[in-house]
Amino acid sequence: MLEESAFRQELTLVAILTPCALFLPVDVVERILLLGTLLLVLIVELLNSSVEAAVDRISLERHGLSKRAKDFGSAAVMLALVLCGGTWLAIAGPIVVGWLRQLAG
């Protein structure tokens, strides 16, 4: 699994943002949302990799259904990333902006 570059990139993102989620001054539910969306990205990426491996195992020749299966898996990963980014922007964004305003002013 670590040979998948997308998974490595997402794992790096999780490794960076997990400590941030633990140290941000947020309540328990918000912390769970921050960490949960990170975990969701990894879960969806693993499922996408599984679909791609199964499709490639069946046949390496180009087929419309194979392409659709891979495209749907990639779209699911993108939606998980959008959800994660939106959650982080909504919860952590105002806190970080407040910190930056304190530093500037």
What's the pLDDT tens digit per position in 6-28? 999 999 999 999 999 999 999 99
What average pLDDT score do residues 77-83 get? Answer: 98
In the DSSP assignment, the letter for residue 1 is -
Active-site choice (4, 30, 45, 52): 45
Distance between CA atoms of residues 63 and 13, nearest Å: 33
The yes-or-no answer on residue 4 being catalytic is no
What average pLDDT score do residues 85-101 get? Answer: 97
Q: What is the pLDDT of residues 23-60, one digit of tens each?
A: 999 999 999 999 999 999 999 999 999 999 999 888 77
pLDDT at position 85: 98
- Asked whether the beta carbons of 62 and 55 are under 8 A apart, the reply is no
Task: Please say if the pLDDT value at position 87 is more than 60.
Answer: yes
Domains and CATH numbers, the chain: 5-104 (1.10.287.3610)
pLDDT at position 2: 55
Q: Which residues are within 8 A (CB) of 83 and not within 5 positions of it... i.e. 6 or more apart?
A: 37, 40
Q: Is the whole model's pTM more than 0.75, yes or no?
A: yes
Tell me how crowded residue 99 is: count the other CB atoms within 10 A of its CB: 10
What interhelical angle do 64-104 and 5-23 show, nearest 10? Answer: 30
